[in-house]
Amino acid sequence: MLELRNITAGYDAGTVLRDVSITVPDGAVVALLGPNGAGKTTTLKVASGLLGTRSGQILVDGEDVTNKAPYQLARHGVCHVPEGRGIFPSLSVTDNIRLQAPARNFKASLGNATSVFPRLGERAKQISRTMSGGEQQMLALCHAYVSDPQYILLDEVSMGLAPKIVEEIFEYLHDLARQGKSMLLVEQYVAQALKLADYVYIMDRGTITFAGEPGEISEETIMNSYLGSLAS
């Protein structure tokens, strides 16, 4: 179980998250929804160690990992797929996968990645920045397959992609869910996220305004969380 308990965090003098608590149970998909600027990306950065906390705790399987470095959290099974592709654009597809995979299992990891994403196998020697946006996102998602994490943090993996590619990407996410991976998902396609999620949190202005199961949330609640932020 991945837990964020009463997290307060921010940048320089500005506070972004205020007393945020989120639980990602083993084998569950948790959707974190809310308007732009609500603090969702900041939450994922805190959960992966990219941003320190001012107060509160982060626990992985009951162990306090608060303010540990990203590589230490990775050793605890936390994998962060950031917004904006999250690849090394000047490297080939194979070299990107090489950096994501355990060194001792590179060949097996490469085979796994290219079986899940056959298009990447066809472009193994291609420089990553020359691929389409959808292919680059598939390469970013490889991290969740080849590093064998238990907790996967996904930040807007569908951003900027055509609807057909978005459907493909969500098929991969469903596959990860079937494998029993725990996911904390920030996503602009609310309907897709709710279909995948076991639990939902809504965030606005750095605080959690709703926590529950998808069936407990109404369209009106979702609309108010987005439109209310725009109106104020």
Structure tokens at 91: 């490297």
CA 74 to chain CA centroid, nearest Å: 13
Separation between Cα atoms, residue 119 and residue 165, nearest integer Å: 13
What are the domain boundaries of the chain?
2-77+150-231, 88-148
In this structure, how many other beta carbons lie within 10 angstroms of the beta carbon of residue 91? 16
Length of the chain: 232
**232, pLDDT greater than 50:** no
DSSP-derived letter for residue 213 is -
At a CB cut-off of 8 Å and minimum separation 6, what does 137 contact?
A: 85, 157, 158, 161, 165, 169
In this structure, how many other beta carbons lie within 10 angstroms of the beta carbon of residue 186? 22
In this structure, how many other beta carbons lie within 10 angstroms of the beta carbon of residue 164? 8
**223, pLDDT greater than 80:** no
Strands 55-60 and 207-212: unpaired
Q: Return the top range by mean pLDDT from 14-28, 80-94, 105-119, 212-226.
A: 14-28
Please check whether residue 58 is in contact with residue 3, taking contact to mean a CB–CB distance below 8 angstroms. Answer: yes
Task: Give the per-residue pLDDT at 230.
Answer: 45
Separation between Cα atoms, residue 44 and residue 63, nearest integer Å: 18
Amino acid occupying residue 185: L
Task: Give the per-residue pLDDT at 228.
Answer: 60
Q: Which CATH architecture has domain 2-77+150-231?
A: 3-Layer(aba) Sandwich (3.40)
Lowest mean pLDDT among 29-33, 62-66, 222-226: 222-226
